[in-house]
Amino acid sequence: MATAETVRVIFRPAGRSARVPKGTLLTAAANQIGVPIEQVCGGKGTCGKCKVRLLSGTLSPVGPAESRHLSSDELAAGYRLACQAAALSDVSVEVAWASAAAGVSILVEGLLEPMPLEPIVEKMVVQVPRASLEDQVGDYEALLRVLPPSAGQPPRPSLSTLRELPAAVRAADGLVTVVHADGLLVSVEQGDTRDALYGFACDIGTTTVVGYLLDLNTGKRLSVASTLNPQTRFGDDVVSRIEVAQRSAEGLESLRQTIVEAINDLIGQACAEAGVPRERIHALSIVGNTCMHHLFLGLSPAALGRSPYVPVVAGPLQLDAIEAGLRAHPSAQLFVLPNIAGFVGADTVGVLLATRLLHKEGVRLAIDIGTNGEMALGSRERMVACSTAAGPAFEGAQLTHGMRAADGAIDHVDLGEDGQIQVHSIGRGKVRGICGSGAVDAIAGLRRLGIIDATGRLLSREEVGTLRGDHLAERIVPHAHGGAFVLVPAEQTAIGGPVLLTQRDIRQIQLAKGAIRAGIEILMAELGVGPEDVVEVCLAGAFGNYIRPESALTIGLIPRFPRAPIVPVGNAAGAGAQMVLLSRQAWREAATITGQVEYVELSLRRDFQQVFMQAMEME
Ligand code: FES
């Protein structure tokens, strides 16, 4: 019987290789062995981010998508799109730096407002009496006799608890430690183990995943582990992943397994760093947007992708972690924070928990800016929330030289009145591209100098020359994307050409900021408040943490609130996930947030288009 011919694909600089059937796409080969390559569009050939360079061997002929996204110089140098090029022989390819989804800065810190330490799982020590011929009581019933009423009447045992029980009650003279959570007997351990009580909180972002190992006795964080969300190989945004999950049951299962494995790896890393066996973790919590929540649980996100955009389940869930595929104590409990709506998920609940906005007087705005901008506005009296599709421009995608906030990315740009440009990039190496906060700074700086007008038009070289002189005019160069401004000249970059901000990049950022700004304007109208009523703006998430407030105001991403300081709150969703493990009160509050927040469906607002068009304008 003839067997399919196989070829070997080597990925440089990692040096890892995959043996695959001849004709396999390079992305499929990379995915098979876990080599990270950015696949923003999920392999549709529309984002141009999966660039690799052929070092040796033969690939399939250059296709139309590659001709569109690669310049003639790049094609001549051997650059290809990994999602379009198939291996026809043994090949060696170099993953273009900006395509390697590695070296990315991941935000882990988040504001955590103090709450009383009252962990969601508790331990107590009891002495279980021995059975005798006169009293042939079962082990479980003997335990029930000595449990105080506060432990529940009677607590439900998990199956693994019953399995642990015989050995536990016969060792250490019947002295056992009972682990319980909300009426459930989670575990029974030999002797007094009250010193060891651990929880693991996880924030599943569309782009990154962060896990926190907590000592639930002290409330201290023992270690943090983070990674890029490996589901990005199925597409960078939630819509691409919903499409994959919708296409087949296998697609949904692959997405589920991918994230579950990643979380299990994070648990392993965090436990190794802290010297805590994973079997000692008795409680876990999860936050994420509604799509990440569904994919993690293996729930179909199909209904999220079409009107009326409803989740499978909105409320909070307490599950056996093992059932969700997580590896910790066999009876560990998993607390999944609730969703507010199809596109306002448990991550927003986490932000509201961490910032305590529902407990405060005065109107406050919380925004988490990612590919979707999720935002909530209000106070203890009333809170409204919405989600707008900002697209991935703020994460550096869809920009000509865009990249994530990783080594080599321009993250800040200063443009002085005298036309001097100072560019700051992440890490020590040469500049390789620009990330969202850098693009916002650059656009804000050019707007302040008048080089971009209020509609977002980049002035011509002649206009800039008249307005600002030759020094800046020389930086305006022709480009297929409607002209460009040279941020860093070719000789100072590591990509063999200049790093540019093109007219199309400015439009992409305008579209993204217009969506966010329109959401804020509509929430203010819904609540019946104006900018002067808002007393605080909390910017959550990585982009919100790194963006300069003044630049955000200049490009009109956020209205000028005369009384409101802009406070970066970091990974507040992750902070919310930690809070529910540390405080039963926080878990109870999380359960009620869904009912307290009014969701505003922007597609029902007739004025959305008009507000959005206005919101595209710069200051
Ligand atoms: S073009 Fe290849 S993943 Fe988008």
Mean pLDDT computed over 344-362: 94
Mean pLDDT of 106-125: 78
Classified as helix, coil or strand, 490 is helix
Mean pLDDT within 599-618: 92
Q: Mark whether 180 and 92 lie in a shared domain.
A: no
* Residue 280 pLDDT > 90: yes
pLDDT of residue 236: 78
Answer yes or no: do 525 and 602 share one domain.
yes
pLDDT of residue 371: 75
Q: Is the CB of 48 under 6 A from ligand 1?
A: yes
| 22 shares its domain with 162 | no
Q: What is the dihedral of CA 64, 70, 72, 75, to 10 degrees?
A: -90
Residue 41, ligand 1, Cβ within 6 A: yes
Collect all residues with Cβ–Cβ distance below 8 Å to 191 and sequence separation of at least 6.
171, 172, 175, 176, 177
Provide the residue count of the chain: 619
45 lines ligand 1 (CB under 6 A): yes
Nearest ligand 1 atom to alpha carbon 39: 3
* Mean pLDDT to the nearest integer, 477-489: 93
52-75: average pLDDT:
89
Q: Are residues 522 and 379 in the same domain?
A: yes
444: in domain: no
What pLDDT does residue 518 have? 96
Q: What pLDDT is recorded for position 3? A: 64
Question: Rounded CA gap, 549 and 234, in Å?
Answer: 33
- Closest by alpha carbon to 447, among 433, 461, 434, 459? 459
Shared-domain flag, residues 368 and 308 = no
Pocket perturbation via mutation, ligand 1, pick of 31, 37, 44 by most ligand atoms within 8 A of CB: 44
Q: With left for phi above 0 and alpha for psi between -120 and 50, is residue 599 left, alpha or beta?
A: beta
Instruction: Examine the domain organization and report whether 237 and 302 are in the same domain.
Output: yes
Place of tokens 């288009």: 609
Q: Bigger pLDDT: 206 or 97?
A: 206
Query: Would you say residue 376 lies in a domain?
Result: yes
- Determine contact, residues 214/335, Cβ cutoff 8 Å: no
Domain that holds residue 589: 356-392+514-615
Q: Is residue 258 assigned to a domain?
A: yes
User: Has residue 499 been placed in a domain?
Assistant: no
* Band of residue 579 on the pLDDT scale cut at 50, 70, 90: very high
Residue 477 lies in a domain: no
- Mean pLDDT, rounded, of the chain: 90
Q: What is the CATH number of the domain that holds 220?
A: 3.30.420.480
**pLDDT (tens digit per residue) in 10-48:** 987 667 888 999 999 999 998 887 777 877 777 888 878
- Residue whose Cα lies nearest atom 1 of ligand 1: it is 45
Sheet holding 421-425, edge to edge: 421-425, 409-415, 433-434
Give per-residue pLDDT as tens, 149-184: 654 567 888 888 899 999 999 988 899 999 998 788
| Domain C-terminal end among 67, 99, 131 | 99
Residue 213 has pLDDT above 80, yes or no: yes
Asked if residue 268 belongs to a domain, the reply is yes
Pairing of strands 484-488, 476-477: antiparallel
In the three-class reduction of DSSP (H, G, I as helix; E, B as strand; rest coil), residue 209 is classed as strand
CA distances from 41 to 50, 239, 453 (A): 9, 10, 31
Query: Is 105 a residue whose pLDDT tops 70?
Result: no
Q: What is the pLDDT of residues 220-231, one digit of tens each?
A: 999 999 988 889
Q: What is the pLDDT of residue 98?
A: 45
pLDDT band at 101 (very low <50, low <70, confident <90, very high): very low
Evaluate: CB of 81 within 6 angstroms of ligand 1.
yes
Kindly give the distance from the C-alpha atom of residue 241 to the centroid of ligand 1, in angstroms, as a whole number.
14
Choosing from 47, 68, 236, 403 the residue with most ligand 1 atoms within 8 A of its CB, the one to mutate for a pocket test is 47
Q: Collect all residues with Cβ–Cβ distance below 8 Å to 538 and sequence separation of at least 6.
A: 111, 351, 355, 357, 364, 365, 366, 367, 567, 569, 572
List pLDDT tens digits, range 366-377.
999 877 889 999
pLDDT-above-70 percentage for the chain: 95
User: Of 150 and 480, which is predicted with more confidence?
Assistant: 480
CA distance linking residue 496 with residue 168, whole number of Å: 66
Residue 561 lies in a domain: yes
Are the C-beta atoms of 382 and 486 separated by less than 8 Å? no
Q: What CATH number does the domain containing 45 carry?
A: 3.10.20.30
Residues 599 and 583 occupy one common structural domain:
yes
Residue 436 confidence (pLDDT) above 70: yes
562 CB neighbour count, 10 Å cutoff: 10
User: What is the number of the ligand 1 atom nearest to the C-alpha of 42?
Assistant: 3
Res 96: pLDDT: 64
Q: Which helix (H) or strand (E) holds 415?
A: strand 409-415
In a domain, 72, yes or no: yes
> Which of 65, 99, 133 is the endpoint of a domain?
99
Indicate which CATH number applies to the domain containing 132: 3.10.20.880
Same domain, 545 and 594: yes
My answer on whether 594 and 564 are in the same domain is: yes
Q: Residues 294, 212: one domain?
A: yes
Phi/psi of residue 122, nearest 5 degrees: -130, 160
Report which DSSP code applies to 452. Answer: B
520: pLDDT strictly greater than 90? yes
**CATH code of residue 585:** 3.30.420.40
Q: Are residues 184 and 313 in the same domain?
A: no
CA–CA distance, 527 with 529 (Å, rounded to integer): 6
| pLDDT for the residue 109 | 61
Question: Residues of the chain with pLDDT > 90: what percent?
Answer: 67
Q: How many domains would you assign to the chain?
A: 4
pLDDT of residue 200 exceeding 80 = yes
Taking the model in full, what pTM does it have? 0.83
- The pLDDT score that the predictor gives to residue 2 is 54
Would you say residue 103 has pLDDT above 60? no
421 C-alpha vs ligand 1 centroid, how far in Å?
32
Last residue of a domain, one of 190, 222, 247: 190
Is the same domain home to 235 and 282? yes
Lowest pLDDT segment from 1-15, 388-402, 446-460, 495-509: 1-15
Q: Give residue 378 CA to ligand 1 midpoint distance, Å.
A: 40
